[in-house]
């Protein structure tokens, strides 16, 4: 069996292409743990294509919560293949005052959404632009090799 951290989803929504593979926790997905890989997909190479990329996270079982959804209850979602995930419509963003001092975190909906799945083999999540249907996120997660 291949190392789960080297695996990729078999399905990627139309128009998106893999642009970066970030191994060994160099990019936080499930926190700053080494045993994770982050896959970044965009529809092109322009700056605007990178504003809301499609990002797939793979970590070993027992990984922490997906960054920017921590301690925010999601809703249960049934996925193809009998998987159950946690859906979040939004993301935590930093708030600053008029002097650019950090004043706290605020939950922001509308720009991005995500689904996190935990299996005996891996912790998985996908975060994408809100313009991409939730069913596309679910299909991508369900296509990950079991």
d(CA 5, CA 29): 13
Residue 138's φ and ψ, nearest 5 degrees, are -60, -45
Q: How far is CA 135 from the centre of its chain?
A: 14
How many other β-carbons are positioned within 10 Å of the β-carbon of residue 84? 11
pLDDT of residue 4: 92
pLDDT of residue 1: 43
d(CA 105, CA 83): 31
Q: Which of 98, 46, 128, 47 is nearest to 141 (CA)?
A: 128
pLDDT of residue 112: 95
Tens digits of pLDDT across the chain (146 residues): 459 999 999 999 999 999 999 998 778 899 989 999 999 999 999 998 999 999 999 999 999 999 999 999 999 999 988 999 999 999 999 999 999 999 999 999 999 999 999 999 999 999 999 999 999 999 999 999 87
Residues of 35-50 as b/e, b for ≥16 C-beta within 10 angstroms?
A: bbbbbbbbbeeeeeee
Give yes or no for a contact between 117 and 30, defined as CB atoms under 8 angstroms apart: no
d(CA 143, CA 56): 12
Could you tell me where the DSSP H helices lie in the chain?
134-142
Give yes or no for a contact between 17 and 145, defined as CB atoms under 8 angstroms apart: no
Q: Where are the domains of the chain?
A: 4-142
May I ask the CATH class of domain 4-142? alpha beta
* pTM of structure: 0.93
Secondary element (H or E) of residue 90: strand 84-96
């Amino acid at each position: 069996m291949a190392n789960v951290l080297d695996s990729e989803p078999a399905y990627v929504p139309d128009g998106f292409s893999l642009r970066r593979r970030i191994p060994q926790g160099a990019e936080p997905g499930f926190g700053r743990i080494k045993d994770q890989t982050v896959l970044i997909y965009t529809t092109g190479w322009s700056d605007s294509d990178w504003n809301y990329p499609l990002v797939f996270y793979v970590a070993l079982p027992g990984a922490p919560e997906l960054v920017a959804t921590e301690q925010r209850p999601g809703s249960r979602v049934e996925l193809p293949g009998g998987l159950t995930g946690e859906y979040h419509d939004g993301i935590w963003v930093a708030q600053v005052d008029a002097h650019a001092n950090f004043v706290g975190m605020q939950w922001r909906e509308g720009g991005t959404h995500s689904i996190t799945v935990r299996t005996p083999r891996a912790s998985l999540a996908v975060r994408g632009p809100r313009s991409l249907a939730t069913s596309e996120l679910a299909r991508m997660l369900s296509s990950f090799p079991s």
